[in-house]
Amino acid sequence: MKNGWSAYEYQPSFVLGFHGCEEAVGKAILSGEEPHLKPSEEKYDWLGHGIYFWEGNPSRALAWANHRKAAGKITTPFVLGAIIDLKHCLDLFDHDGLAQVKSAHSELKRTMRLLNEPLPLNVGSTPDKLGRKLDCAVMNFLHFYREDRKEEPYDSIRGPFLEGKRLYAHAGFRSENHIQLCVRKIDCIKGYFRPIQL
């Protein structure tokens, strides 16, 4: 899954990520009681396993935390900010990055066929597909595939998502479009902070 432009897989600057969580979790990170957020390993993680952030979007992180509260998953919503060096990044805005994901899907499909196992499915409404079991399996397989071939691992993944209702009739914009970050290597996170709300 190598490409000729791999030098450009390194992002040149820091980004700000925002994570919606339980207040106690956020405060434990800020106080140093806990060193880092824990990676997600759900079968439906959109970008595979890792620590998730909304890039440059604290209000979306808060909306996510409020959604989790409404679902009974957390008690007190909180937004934790992070300074992130994406390092070696699989960027899904990039043509070559998308080609690697497509190739990983083909390899996963072939492997599952050999094992006589069905491919997982993405479920949910279009374009959101909230239950992304297939996408998660493809992303995790991509990392396994690279590791198996002794290719340099990705430290992070950055992906755009069209989500929510159309802003207006026939609009190409949706109400919850966002950029999601999945941090796979803890040392990408250079620090945490409490966002200032003006």
What is the per-residue pLDDT across 76-92, written as a single tens digit (0 to 9) for each?
999 999 999 999 999 99
Q: Where are the domains of the chain?
A: 14-167+180-193
pTM for the full predicted model? 0.89
Q: Chain-centre distance of CA 112, in angstroms?
A: 24
Strand ranges for 67-121 from DSSP E: 77-85, 89-91
Cα–Cα nearest to 18, from 159, 161, 181: 181
User: Is the pLDDT score of 22 beyond 90?
Assistant: yes
| Per-residue model confidence (pLDDT) at position 10 | 78
pLDDT of residue 153: 95
Q: Determine the average pLDDT of the residues in 96-108.
A: 95
pLDDT (0 to 100) of residue 5? 63
What pLDDT, on a 0 to 100 scale, did the predictor assign at position 160? Answer: 93
Contacts of residue 85, defined as CB under 8 A and 6 or more positions apart, other chains included, come to 11, 14, 188, 190
pLDDT of 172:
86
Residues 6+ apart with CB under 8 A from 195: 18, 58, 79, 81
Is a pLDDT exceeding 70 seen at residue 16?
Answer: yes
pLDDT at 124: 76
pLDDT tier, 164 (very low <50, low <70, confident <90, very high otherwise) = confident
128 pLDDT above the threshold of 80: no
Q: What share of the chain is helix, strand, coil (3-state, %, to 5)?
A: 35, 25, 40
